[in-house]
Chain A
């Protein structure tokens, strides 16, 4: 089946720095990818929809200047957490539609971000 990878799997950064997370579709092309955030024992919250070649669409309450999304190719979307703070510590997961005509999503393994 289709595979989505994320890099890094874990990252620790200092408060005030920026962190980039990559999401790749390994054996299929994805014009759309989704970014989610998940706090401990909470459900996945959709942050934004990443669109290849155009601007991302952010969900209400998500700061687009803080969470920069770039979808530069059909296999790569990146999420940059700018000026990270401890409250940004979370599990970030991306997904891409399977492209089979229904909206089954393939999820990446997630990135655990810890901001100290």
Chain B
């Protein structure tokens, strides 16, 4: 069965440093992968989508990579700020047109 793993339940990063979050998936080959941000008590907010033929995608301080051989996506936040503290969810494309999320990584940016 399809499996999504975000390897850190929680991650503490010093302000100003780069935060790197990992998403691994098994047993399928998504055509694209999405990253979302969720704040406590709120719905997720879309951040980035990267397609299987794209190695890297950037948006302001965010960068996502997609390695279809390793079945892995990395999500980077550069020059991290306390306001970046949130839970980040990855969602590889599901052939049934559904969005299935990983468990998420709670990121804490320490001032």
A residues adjacent to B (C-beta < 8 A): 4, 32, 34, 42-44, 46, 49, 91, 93, 95, 98, 102-110, 112
With A102-B32, A105-B99 in contact, is A43–B89 under 8 Å at CB?
yes
Q: What is the interface size of chain B, counting residues whose CB is below 8 A from a CB of the partner?
A: 20
8 Å CB contact of A107 from B32, B43, B97, B102? B43
Top 7 closest pairs, chain A to chain B, by CB: A107-B43, A43-B103, A93-B43, A104-B46, A107-B44, A110-B43, A43-B101
Q: Interface majority SS on A: helix, strand, loop or mixed?
A: strand
In the complex, the answer to whether B46 meets A109 with C-beta atoms within 8 Å is no
What string of 1s and 0s marks CB contacts (under 8 Å) between B34-53 and chain A? 10100001111110010000
Q: Is the CB of B89 within 8 A of A109?
A: no
- Whether B34 contacts A104 by the Cβ 8 Å rule is yes
B100 at the interface (CB under 8 A from A): yes
Neighbouring A residues of B104 by C-beta, 8 Å: 43
Residue of B nearest to A112 (CB): B41
Other-chain contact of A105, B32, B46, B102 (Cβ < 8 Å) = B46
Give the Cβ gap from B6 to chain A, nearest Cβ, in Å: 9
Q: Is the pair A103, B97 in contact by a Cβ cutoff of 8 Å?
A: yes
Residue of B nearest to A105 (CB): B99
